[in-house]
Chains A and B, each alone.
Chain A
Amino acid sequence: MAIRKTFEQEIQQLKDEILLLGSMVEQATLDAVEALKKRDMRWSEQIIAADKKINEKRFELENKVMILIATQQPMARDLRMIASILEVISELERMGDYAKGIAVINIRMGEQPLLKPLIDIPRMAQKGTDMLHRALTAFVNGDVETARAIPEEDDEVDMLYEQVYRELMTYVMADARTIERANWLLWAAHNLERLADRVTNICERAVFAVTGEYKETRSTYDEIEKTEK
Chain B
Amino acid sequence: MLPENSQYAIETRNLSIFYGNFEAVKNVNLQIEKQRITAIIGPSGCGKSTLLRAFNRMNDFVPSSHVKGEILLHGTNLYGKEIDPVEVRRKIGMVFQKPNPFPKSIYENIAWGARINGYKGNMDDLVEQSLRGAALWDEVKDKLKQSAYALSGGQQQRLCIARAIAVQPEIILMDEPASALDPISTLRIEELMQELKKNYTIIIVTHNMQQAARVSDYTAMMMLYEDTRSGTVIEYDKTEIIFTRPKDKRTEDYVTGRFG
A107 to B15, CA, bound (A): 75
Does the CB pair A74–B245 fall under 8 Å? Answer: no
**Which residues of the other chain, B, contact A170 by a CB distance below 8 angstroms?**
none
In this assembly, does B258 line the interface, its C-beta being within 8 Å of a C-beta of chain A? yes
A-contacting 9-mer, from B31-39, B85-93, B249-257: B249-257
Q: CB-defined interface of B217-260 with A at 8 Å, one 1/0 digit per residue? A: 00000000000000000000000000111100001110111110
Does the CB pair A75–B243 fall under 8 Å? Answer: yes
Does the CB pair A79–B243 fall under 8 Å? Answer: yes
Does the CB pair A76–B259 fall under 8 Å? Answer: no
State the interface size on chain B (CB cutoff 8 A).
15
In this assembly, does B187 line the interface, its C-beta being within 8 Å of a C-beta of chain A? no
A75 to B241, CA, bound (A): 11
The smallest beta-carbon distance between A182 and chain B, in angstroms, is 48
Does the CB pair A80–B258 fall under 8 Å? Answer: no
Contact A76 to B256, CB < 8 A, known contacts A212-B244, A212-B245 = yes
Does the CB pair A77–B210 fall under 8 Å? Answer: no
In this assembly, does A165 line the interface, its C-beta being within 8 Å of a C-beta of chain B? no
In this assembly, does B126 line the interface, its C-beta being within 8 Å of a C-beta of chain A? no
The smallest beta-carbon distance between A188 and chain B, in angstroms, is 40
Which of B243, B245, B253 has the largest count of A CB atoms less than 10 A from its CB?
A: B245
In this assembly, does B213 line the interface, its C-beta being within 8 Å of a C-beta of chain A? yes
A79 to B210, CA, bound (A): 13
**Which residues of the other chain, A, contact B243 by a CB distance below 8 angstroms?**
75-76, 79
**Which residues of the other chain, A, contact B244 by a CB distance below 8 angstroms?**
75-76, 79-80, 212
A153 to B143, CA, bound (A): 74
The smallest beta-carbon distance between A79 and chain B, in angstroms, is 6
In the complex, number of A-B residue pairs with CB atoms less than 8 Å apart: 37
**Which residues of the other chain, B, contact A77 by a CB distance below 8 angstroms?**
252, 256
Q: Which of A1-32 contact B (CB under 8 A)?
A: 1, 3-4, 7
The smallest beta-carbon distance between A202 and chain B, in angstroms, is 20
In this assembly, does B192 line the interface, its C-beta being within 8 Å of a C-beta of chain A? no
Q: Which of B31-63 contact A (CB under 8 A)?
A: none
In this assembly, does B209 line the interface, its C-beta being within 8 Å of a C-beta of chain A? yes
Does the CB pair A3–B245 fall under 8 Å? Answer: no
A4 to B257, CA, bound (A): 7
The smallest beta-carbon distance between A4 and chain B, in angstroms, is 5
Q: CB-defined interface of A64-99 with B at 8 Å, one 1/0 digit per residue? A: 000000000111111110000000000000000000
**Which residues of the other chain, B, contact A212 by a CB distance below 8 angstroms?**
244-245
A7 to chain B: closest residue by CB: B257
Contact A1 to B245, CB < 8 A, known contacts A73-B210, A75-B209, A77-B252 = no
The smallest beta-carbon distance between A83 and chain B, in angstroms, is 9
A73 to B246, CA, bound (A): 16
**Which residues of the other chain, A, contact B246 by a CB distance below 8 angstroms?**
76
The smallest beta-carbon distance between B239 and chain A, in angstroms, is 11
The smallest beta-carbon distance between A13 and chain B, in angstroms, is 18
**Which residues of the other chain, B, contact A1 by a CB distance below 8 angstroms?**
253, 258-259
**Which residues of the other chain, A, contact B209 by a CB distance below 8 angstroms?**
73, 75
B260 to chain A: closest residue by CB: A3
Does the CB pair A75–B245 fall under 8 Å? Answer: no
A83 to chain B: closest residue by CB: B244
Which of A4, A73, A76, A78 has the largest count of B CB atoms less than 10 A from its CB?
A: A76
The smallest beta-carbon distance between B250 and chain A, in angstroms, is 11
A78 to B252, CA, bound (A): 9
What are some 12 contacts across the A-B interface (CB < 8 A)? A1-B258, A1-B259, A7-B257, A73-B210, A74-B256, A75-B209, A75-B257, A76-B255, A77-B256, A78-B256, A79-B243, A212-B245
Give 18 A-B pairs besides A75-B209, A212-B245 with Cβ atoms closer than 8 angstroms: A1-B259, A3-B257, A4-B256, A4-B257, A7-B257, A75-B213, A75-B243, A75-B244, A75-B255, A75-B256, A76-B244, A76-B251, A76-B255, A77-B256, A79-B243, A79-B244, A80-B245, A212-B244
Instruction: Please list the 6 inter-chain residue pairs (A to B) with the smallest Cβ-Cβ separation, ordered nearest first.
Output: A212-B245, A75-B255, A1-B258, A78-B256, A4-B257, A76-B255
